[in-house]
Structure 1
Amino acid sequence: MSLILNIESAIDGCSVAVSDEGRLVFHEEDQSTHNNAVSLGLLVDNALAFIDSHGMKLDAVAVSEGPGSYTGLRIGVSMAKGVCYGRGLKLIAVPTLKLLCVRLLLTEELPDDALLCPMIDARRMEVYSALYDRALKPVREIRADIVDRETYLEYLEKHPVWFLGNGSAKCRDVIDHPAAHFIEDVMPEARWMFPLAEQSFNRGEFRDVAYFEPYYLKDFIAVKPKKQV
């Protein structure tokens, strides 16, 4: 079994959680700020203080690997690496789109043939998305979609599809299909990482702390601010 520190900062806000043998024992979040560098550092310090004060021995750090915000992912991975280096721990990467599905799978009853389509908002009508079955086996790979009515039609004609995440709201009117279901308030949170992190730990699926990079999916493009008149 394992004691894992889970770190999430892929979109807006950030959160941390500690799981002990697949059971959540600590969770804190800060969704009120965009300054993840400061907020996440405080949350990680609180989590480590909890671990140390209870005489626990940390085995690994799990981090939400992306896709998502370039800055948020970079901060989260840097923080996770720092803890791994400082305490000699293993590093686990949790795919952010799979993470979005966990809460729904643990709290809702879905039909056997249901598909899940987690969506992370990119820009305009673009989202980062993938399709999974109820066992979180990939049905379609992760990609950046510019969403129109045809984008997911082949799946909607055969399955009920649950679209979830902060990218799903802008797609509701465009997709407009009777088999489409939308859950817009689902965000990636550290407290839902533990099933995926525990699974990776038990399988020995660890990342190289020195060379691991977030899964950005697309290269970062800097936008120059408009000049103020």
Structure 2
Amino acid sequence: MFAVKKVLAIDTTTQACSVALSLGNSVSSRFQLASREHTRLLLPMVNDLLSEAGVKLTELDALAFTRGPGSFTGIRIGFSVIQGLALGGDLPVLPVSSLETLAHTACRQLFIEDSYRLLPMFDARMDEVYWSVFEWNGVELTRLTPDNLSPPETIILPHSRLPLAVIGDGWHYAERIDLYPTIEASALLPDARDVLTIAIPEIENGALMAIDEVKPLYLRDKVSWQKRKRLRENKPISGTGT
């Protein structure tokens, strides 16, 4: 088993930008709403945490990050920064799911102590959502489905008698989803502190990877993203006619 002491984690998959540093017995972090500001904020946040802790990049044991799904631009920015840090510090990495991270963020921030089903979901635009289903027993989170991309009305949850918590901005499609959650937390965003929660046990069990073995998780293919970009660029400007 790998003894983890120093791990740096980042998340840039939504409109939030966050960084967390674990030194074994303590965790320090930065979290900021940063729509379209990830490029400007991310590296200074990393440098601030390392400087405050008196830790050099090369002294870290590993890097952890959310590889997706989520914002296409945010994923690319986060992955590019992790690539640079991993190569610059000769460090192994561990990618985690942004939806699983959000589920852990909900359990921590909402103080969920009872058993629940959790449905983290992001608005994926183009009339679709990224979503996954987990079960929380008050201590551990168990994945019940893979990360998915689909129209909101096609979400199908595994059968369970447990109450449901829905987390994330994908819930603004609530009228199209035949679900009745006990907890609704549409404003919650994933936090890098919870990337550490997922990553550290996996790193200790030897799940580390080289950066060239890792790819971002977009779920939506490149053709669909290009189609969305063309539609956005061809959209008429209000007041100028068609």
TM over 0.5: yes
Distance 1:144 1:15, change over 3 A: same
Aligned to 2:5: 2
Aligned to 2:23: 20
CA deviation profile, 1:116-145 (whole Å, cap 9, x unmatched): 111011115411111111132221222112
Matches within 5 A, 1:91-102: 91-102=93-104
Q: Which runs of 5+ in 1 are unaligned?
A: none
Which is helix-richer, 1 or 2? 2
Q: CA deviation at 1:104?
A: 2.4
Aligned to 2:167: 164
Q: CA deviation at 1:23?
A: 3.2
The reply to whether residue 145 of structure 1 matches residue 147 of structure 2 is: no
Task: Give the RMSD, CA atoms, in angstroms.
Answer: 2.4
Q: Partner of 1:137: helix, strand, or coil?
A: strand
Opposite residue 202 of structure 2, the aligned amino acid is S
CA contact (8 A) 2:65 2:94 kept: yes
Q: For residues 197 and 168 of structure 2, what CA distance do their matches in structure 1 show?
A: 19
Aligned to 1:66: 68
Q: Partner of 2:121: helix, strand, or coil?
A: strand
CA contact (8 A) 2:58 2:89 kept: no
CA contact (8 A) 1:22 1:198 kept: no
Q: CA deviation at 1:201?
A: 1.4
Using the aligned pairs only, state the percent identity: 25
Q: Partner of 1:192: helix, strand, or coil?
A: helix
Opposite residue 150 of structure 2, the aligned amino acid is D
**Alignment equivalent of 1:121, drawn from 120, 123, 129:** 123
Aligned to 1:79: 81
Q: CA deviation at 1:64?
A: 0.9
Q: For residues 25 and 220 of structure 2, what CA distance do their matches in structure 1 show?
A: 33
TM-score by length of 1: 0.87
Q: For residues 49 and 204 of structure 1, what CA distance do their matches in structure 2 show?
A: 28
Q: Which runs of 5+ in 2 are unaligned?
A: none
Q: Partner of 1:197: helix, strand, or coil?
A: helix
CA deviation profile, 1:186-227 (whole Å, cap 9, x unmatched): 101112222112112111111221231111111231212135
Paired positions, count:
224
Q: For residues 90 and 120 of structure 2, what CA distance do their matches in structure 1 show?
A: 33
